[in-house]
Amino acid sequence: MSEQKGKISINAQDIMPIIKRWLYSDKDIFVRELVSNASDANTKHTRLVQFGTAPAAAEEYKISVEVDPADGTIAFIDNGIGMTAEEVEKYINQVAFSGAQDFVERYKDKDAKDEIIGHFGLGFYSAFMVAEKVTINTLSWQEGAAPVLWESEDGMDFTMSQGTRTARGTTITLKISEDEKEFLSYEKINSILVKYCLFIAAPLFSVNCAVEGEGRERRINETAPLWMKAPKDCTDEEYKSFYHKLFSDFDDPLFYVHLNADYPFNLKGILYFPKYREGAASMEGQVKMFCGQVFVADNISEVIPEFLLLLKGVVDCPDIPLNVSRSFLQNDQYVKQLSAYITRKVADKINSIMKNDREQYEKYWRSISPFVKYCCMKDEKFYDKVKGSLLFEKTDGVMLTLEQLKEQSAQSEDKVYYTTDPKSQSGAVKLFTDKGKPVTVFETVIDINFISFLEHTDGTLKFLRVDAATDALGEEGDNSEINLEHLGKLFVSALGDESVKVTAQKFDDPSVHAVMQSDEQMRRYGDMAKLYGQNFALPQDRTLVLNSASPLVKWLSAADENDEKTKLVCNHIADLATLMTQPLDADRMAQFIARSGKLLADSLS
């Protein structure tokens, strides 16, 4: 063919928003785009063979990426469909025209769309982010076709002439610009290929032109990832092995959801429920988004609902193009349907385990409860689906459903007594359980918000921490034996805090002298402020509830307020009341220990 020169036609209105969003954000995307195009070329030829349009290929389809530091080039080579001069003019010289989309339209009645992942007019031009010159040497599969050589130094002007390729397929060679020499590192290209193309459908090899013999060529990918199989063909060990390989997590996942839909959208994937470790960063999940086995990005919340991103896994949706703006995803009804489907499948899995294996589900609950609670708060539809599978653990280890919790709370005027730390609040917990009042455990950081969510959503339940519900421990009784007004003055004076209110109840256990009661709502506000890193001090609203049945309280009722021993006992009772629900700070603990020694010594004299 005679040499042809010209200017590339660009539909800027169509192409520039995509270029700005994707192509200039991460330069290594050019590797993904060119390998994806090569995979498409192989797939197109495969389909033509299946349709009976093209003769069968004598050799195995493959893709090679050759890195030549000495020559300063990277070559992407496939043995796929190739292009004629007319196709190069159509698909390359018009940037916004997608060869893949044209192929889909031509064979849409033959169901080829699901296997075409590239958009050849766009992805190809990502090469100019790193190259000072790009060359295409291609030969079409069509009988009698002539090879074509296409060259451009700026992505705007081009030259077309007779090519040199003798076998069907395409070679795209990038002369790497001086500022981008880092991409001539063989190991760097390998890492990029692993990042984006570890599961691409065609066999993929990297070639190090700087060495000869062993080590020159390396196989990069596996072409049949687990998520592409039917769930019935996957074993439990395969699911676990794939999880360990993909996320380098030594712990086994608790369980998983295999997504496998063909209608109304094509979606495949596996979502894992990882073990949750208190105090670790394991609540930070990772969901990898693929398009036709090509990695796109992690945690695309426009496709995967944000609250599900606490899981780990992969989602592969070939109907979403590799290069697409997030604003498009946010407003696309198809994507919204896909997102809703994923949410429903996760909810269905949770409900299924709860229904079919309650014993195993209870073992999972401690690990998955933060995730499930977070999802409920973020999406009330999800809450409606799984509320029958919510569990609430009592201090004795028994787990109740939401309905069972409501039935139990009905005996206490719809109040649910709870603890946020069964160990440090064990004294107060014992007072409740001794009276036959069950205490529920809410000890994860998310529970502060979840309790409020349940109160708002249900409308009948009221949650009170054990130190905010002391009126449930005793009764007013006959306080004629104590002078409450005098006791109030004693404790306010001894503690040096006039904001502390002093009242009295009769407890069943006379060895308990007092409990410190806090206001539930004010304490919640303070806990949430700390949770979100806010340091402002909220006003304290505390009440020291004295046990009118305690011999020590009765003694104090007649004690001299100026006596040193009286002050020691008042401070000690206040500290004991605090210790029932929380540890003392360092200064108060030092004072408590010194005071304990003095009171013991006085008792011997």
Whole-number pLDDT of residue 528: 77
Whole-number pLDDT of residue 252: 92
Distance of alpha carbon 513 from alpha carbon 518, whole angstroms = 17
Distance of alpha carbon 101 from alpha carbon 99, whole angstroms = 5
Q: How many CA atoms lie within 13 A of 75 on its CB side?
A: 16
Whole-number pLDDT of residue 232: 93
Whole-number pLDDT of residue 49: 92
Residues 6 or more apart in contact with residue 363 via CB below 8 angstroms: none
Sheet with 294-298: strands ordered across: 255-261, 267-273, 312-316, 286-291, 294-298
Structure tokens of 151? 């060259």
User: Which residue intervals of 80-224 are DSSP H helices?
Assistant: 85-91, 99-106, 120-123, 186-197
pLDDT category at 322 given cuts 50, 70, 90 is: low
DSSP string, 86-113: HHHHHHTSBTT--HHHHHHHHTGGGT-G
Distances (CA, A) of 264 to 45, 135, 336, 480: 27, 41, 12, 76
CATH fold match for the domains 226-358 and 476-522+540-604 = no
Structure tokens of 565? 């021993």
CB 472 within 8 A of CB 437: yes
Amino acid at 392: F
Whole-number pLDDT of residue 57: 84
| CATH number for the domain running over 226-358 | 3.30.230.80
Domain boundaries, the chain: 4-219, 226-358, 390-471, 476-522+540-604
Residue 33's H or E segment, with its range, is helix 29-51
112-126, 326-340, 444-458, 557-571 — which is least confidently predicted?
112-126
CATH fold group of domain 4-219: Heat Shock Protein 90 (3.30.565)
pLDDT category at 536 given cuts 50, 70, 90 is: low
Is the confidence at residue 110, as pLDDT, over 60?
A: no
pLDDT category at 543 given cuts 50, 70, 90 is: confident
State pTM to two decimals. 0.79
Is the confidence at residue 259, as pLDDT, over 60?
A: yes
Angle subtended at Cα 192 by Cα 188 and Cα 198, rounded to the nearest 5 degrees: 130
Q: Are strands 204-208 and 131-139 parallel, antiparallel or unpaired?
A: unpaired
Q: Is 392 helix (H, G, I), strand (E, B) or coil?
A: strand
* Mean pLDDT (the chain, rounded): 85
Question: What size, in residues, is the chain?
Answer: 605
Is the confidence at residue 328, as pLDDT, over 60?
A: no
**Phi/psi of residue 131, nearest 5 degrees:** -110, 140
Whole-number pLDDT of residue 372: 94
Whole-number pLDDT of residue 14: 47
Structure tokens of 472? 């449930």
Distances (CA, A) of 473 to 129, 408, 433: 72, 17, 10
Whole-number pLDDT of residue 115: 44
Whole-number pLDDT of residue 112: 45
Structure tokens of 2? 């005679």
Distances (CA, A) of 188 to 9, 67, 195, 296: 33, 10, 11, 18
pLDDT in tens, 165-213: 999 999 999 999 999 999 999 999 999 999 999 999 899 999 999 999 8
Query: Which residue's structure tokens are 């205490």?
Result: 439
Distance of alpha carbon 246 from alpha carbon 272, whole angstroms = 11
Whole-number pLDDT of residue 109: 56
pLDDT in tens, 79-109: 999 999 999 988 887 764 445 455 445 545 5
Distance of alpha carbon 96 from alpha carbon 13, whole angstroms = 9
Does domain 390-471 sit in CATH 3.40.50.11260? yes
Distance of alpha carbon 175 from alpha carbon 71, whole angstroms = 8
Picking from 27, 22, 11, the residue whose alpha carbon sits closest to that of residue 98 is 11
CB 569 within 8 A of CB 596: no
Sheet with 514-518: strands ordered across: 501-505, 542-547, 514-518
Q: According to the 3-state scheme, what is the secondary structure of 273-328?
A: ECCCCCCCCCCCCEEEEEECCEEEEECCCCCCCHHHHHCEEEEECCCCCCCCCHHH
Is the confidence at residue 504, as pLDDT, over 80?
A: yes
Distance of alpha carbon 514 from alpha carbon 499, whole angstroms = 17
Distance of alpha carbon 275 from alpha carbon 253, whole angstroms = 6
CB 385 within 8 A of CB 541: no
Picking from 337, 293, 345, the residue whose alpha carbon sits closest to that of residue 318 is 293
Picking from 416, 447, 439, the residue whose alpha carbon sits closest to that of residue 527 is 447
Distance of alpha carbon 472 from alpha carbon 469, whole angstroms = 6
Whole-number pLDDT of residue 120: 40
Whole-number pLDDT of residue 106: 55
Whole-number pLDDT of residue 538: 61
pLDDT category at 509 given cuts 50, 70, 90 is: confident
Structure tokens of 55? 């003769």
| CATH number for the domain running over 476-522+540-604 | 1.20.120.790
pLDDT category at 323 given cuts 50, 70, 90 is: low
Across residues 258-285, what is the average pLDDT? Answer: 78
**Phi/psi of residue 188, nearest 5 degrees:** -65, -45
Q: Which residue has the higher pLDDT, 604 or 48?
A: 48
Distance of alpha carbon 583 from alpha carbon 588, whole angstroms = 10
Q: Are strands 294-298 and 169-176 parallel, antiparallel or unpaired?
A: unpaired
**Phi/psi of residue 483, nearest 5 degrees:** -100, 95
CB 80 within 8 A of CB 52: no
DSSP string, 489-558: HHHHHHHT-TT-EEEEEB-S-TT--EEEEE-HHHHHHHHHHHHTT--PPPPP-EEEEEETT-HHHHHHHT
Q: What is the CA radius of gyration of the chain?
A: 35
Across residues 279-306, what is the average pLDDT? Answer: 78
Across residues 379-395, what is the average pLDDT? Answer: 95
Structure tokens of 99? 């060869």
Residues 6 or more apart in contact with residue 111 via CB below 8 angstroms: none
